[in-house]
Structures are given as structure tokens and as C-alpha cells.
Amino acid sequence: MTKELLLWYDNNNFLMPWRINKNPYRIWISEIMLQQTQVKTVIPYYEKWMVKYPTVEILADSNLDDILKSWEGLGYYKRAHNIKKSSEIIQYNLGGSFPKHGELKKLPGIGDYTYSAIMSIAFDEKVPAIDGNVKRVSSRIFEKKFSTLSEIKSLSNELKKYMPNNRPGCFNQAIMDLGREICKPQNPECCKCPIHNNCKALTNESVDQYPVKEERKKTPILDVVVGFIFNDDMDFLITKRPQNKMLGGLWELPGGKKEQKETFKTCLKREIKEELNINIEVQKKIGTVKHSYSHFKIRLHGFMCKIKSGKLKIQAADDYSWIKLNDIENFSFPKATHKIFEKINDKII
């Protein structure tokens, strides 16, 4: 199986900007960006990133707001915070040399998969990197379920037997490529598969039964209400999310989650009072947008507002700013906020 897989990998030569060399910094950034994110989405971000932050040293000395702006739209912003923290550790605690083994594992944001991917691709260490793609392909090849920790450990041992000593990183990348291009979640193209002779599920006609489906939990849906609070100069208020919270360091429209018995308006008035110490008048509705996060979904409702009374004081945010619509580009916002900005644009223009 190893020979066929690597031959297919070499012949198909999926060009990706992080595959031009084995520089661990470049591999690390690519692996973090690729977490939960598709290759085609990552490529333009990665290319711009490497122009702006070509080395760990430059990254460590860069401003977090600029880094978040470069990350804007890629989602899972904790990754950007972890990259920044890690670059400082590498540069200032480890003398600028990229860590391996235990030191690599200790960096924030490095889980088992990312550790194995970096160690195998950048340092030729024989460690299988097991992500969702690899689990799916393997479950079909071996006709087994790989979901518990002990099942994944046994998969790692199994894959090690097939890993070549000289090209462990290519082996890992070949399985990932196979999962992305051929052994897809739905309708795998077994007739094009380089290892179909080794696939137990294909032999036993059980491909549609693997991977074994886990019972899915229902995703909660939250209603979040935000205000577009204008002053007389037609500037509106934005607030900066606390660093230690989800989407930390990004800017947003002030507001928050609606409690069960609240109306949108009472919720918004309460949230703004708690967050900014002001009383507002809630005016017309701007619109509603939907957005999905990994463990929940939101319906984001936007309203035009005006300050009625009170002295503005930030109480549950890191900062605030009055901006105009064409200043939006100068700040980093979550995707959901950009969606509501589009609604506001439609109403105002």
C-alpha cells in the first residue's frame, strides 16, 4: 500500500505553497490555518501571511491587532492568538530556533495532530498525523471504527507499520490528499483510488457503512441582539471583545445574548447598559443574519439606536470607538458582524 500511495502522491503533485520546502515555521503556520478550514480557503491567506510575516522573528514583533486583521475571515480566532503567543515563546524563550518534541508540544494550540504533522513533514519523524480525513480513509481501508482514544492509538500503531522511514511526512500528506480528493465523505471514487486493492471496505462492499456514524447532538441556536448606536455626526459605536473570550481582540457592535423572557428591545437595552453604562432608545430594525460556529448557531438581530442618557463607560469590553461606515475596513470584525454590516449598508444607502 505504501508504494502505491506515494507513487500516486508524487504523480498528482498537489501544489500547495507550504509544500515548497520543509521550513518548520512555514509548515506550522499552514497546519494551524488548515485546522477546520479547507485548503482552497487557506491558500490566499497563507500567501499573504508569508509576505507580511515571513519569519518567526517578524511575527513575534508584530502587533496583535494587525495579526487579527490578517486572520479576519478565517475564523477560529484563538488560533491567531496562539500563533502570536507561540512566536513570542520561540523567539524570546527558545532563542529563535523552532522547537521539536516536548518543546513543540508545549506551544499553545499544538494538539496531537498538529504536533505529528509538523514533526513528520518538517523533521521526518515517523509519527502518523490523524485528522478527520485520515480517520475516514483508514476506517474504510481497515474496516474499523476509530473514534475513542484507544481506537485512535491503535490506528496510529497500524499506520506506523506502513510509514516509510525516509518519507513519513509525504505518507501523512498522501493520505490527507487521498481523503480530500478521492476517498471523500460521500461518493468516494474507488475506481480512481491508488490503494483500492488494500481496501477492506471495498472488498467487502461495505464502503457506505464507514466511517461508522456517531449520533449527532443537536446544535443550539442563540438569538443575539446588537445595536447600531449613532451619534449626531452619524458615527456609530463599536466595542472590542475581551482578549480572553471567544473572538477575543475582534471588534463588534455592542449587544448580547437574548434571555428567554426578554424581547429583542429589552435585551438590547439591558446589554448596552451593562456593557457601556448608557440608556438607549431602540429604533428601527436593520435585519437578521444567521451564522454558524463550531458548537452553536446564532441569529444576529441588528437595530438602529440612539443614546438617551448616561455617561459612556466601558464595563464589559476592552475598548470602544466611534467610527463611520467607511472605517470598517480598518478594524477586524467577526464574519457575523460583517454580515449585519451588509444589511446596514442596504438600509442606509
Question: C-beta of 181: minimal distance to ligand SF4 in Å?
Answer: 10
For ligand SF4, the closer CB: 206 or 279: 206
Contact 171, 129 (CB under 8 A): no
Would you say 39 or 190 has its CB closer to ligand SF4?
190
Report the nearest approach of ligand SF4 to the CB of residue 69 (Å). Answer: 40
Which CB sits closer to ligand SF4, 193 or 276? 193
Of residues 29 and 193, the one with the C-beta less far from ligand SF4: 193
Considering the complex, state which of residue 100 and residue 196 has its C-beta at the smaller distance from ligand SF4: 196
Q: How far is the CB of 199 from ligand SF4 (least distance, A)?
A: 3
31 is catalytic: yes
Active site residue: 31, 72, 252, 271, which one? 31
- Nearest distance, CB of residue 136 and ligand SF4, angstroms: 8
Beta bridge pairs of residue 225: 256, 301
Phi, psi of 308 (to 5 degrees): -95, -45
**148's grid cell:** 475513542
- Cβ distance 277 to 317 under 8 Å? no
331 contacts: CB under 8 Å, gap ≥ 6: 69, 238, 251, 321, 323
- Quick one: which of 53, 72, 168, 84 has its CA closest to 120? 168
Q: How far is the CB of 19 from ligand SF4 (least distance, A)?
A: 22
> What DSSP character marks residue 209?
G
For residues 16 and 25, is the Cβ–Cβ distance under 8 A?
no
Quote the crossing angle between the two packed helices 39-52 and 24-34, to the nearest 10°.
140
Provide the binding-site residues for ligand SF4, judged by CB under 6 A: 137, 140-141, 182-183, 188, 190, 193, 195-196, 199, 201-202, 207
Cell 493520505, residue? 175
Q: Taking Cα atoms as reference points, which of 197, 199, 191 lies closest to residue 139?
A: 199
Are 237 and 275 contacting, i.e. CB atoms less than 8 angstroms apart? no
User: What minimum distance in Å lies between the beta carbon of 192 and ligand SF4?
Assistant: 8
Residue among 168 and 194 whose Cβ is closer to ligand SF4 = 194
Nearest distance in Å: CB 187, ligand SF4: 10
C-alpha cell at 42: 487557506
Question: 3-state DSSP: the chain helix, strand, coil percent, rounded to 5?
Answer: 50, 15, 35
Q: State how far Cα 132 lies from the chain centre.
A: 15
What are 128's strand-pairing partners? Answer: none
Q: Hey, what's the cell of 179?
A: 481523503
Quick one: cell of 154? 491503535
For 5, how many CA atoms within 13 A lie in the half-sphere containing its CB? 26
Query: In terms of CB distance, is 199 or 298 closer to ligand SF4?
Result: 199
CA distance 65 to 318: 13
Listed in sequence order, the residues at least 6 apart from 147 whose beta carbon sits closer than 8 Å to its beta carbon are 135, 212, 214
Give the residue numbers marked as catalytic: 31
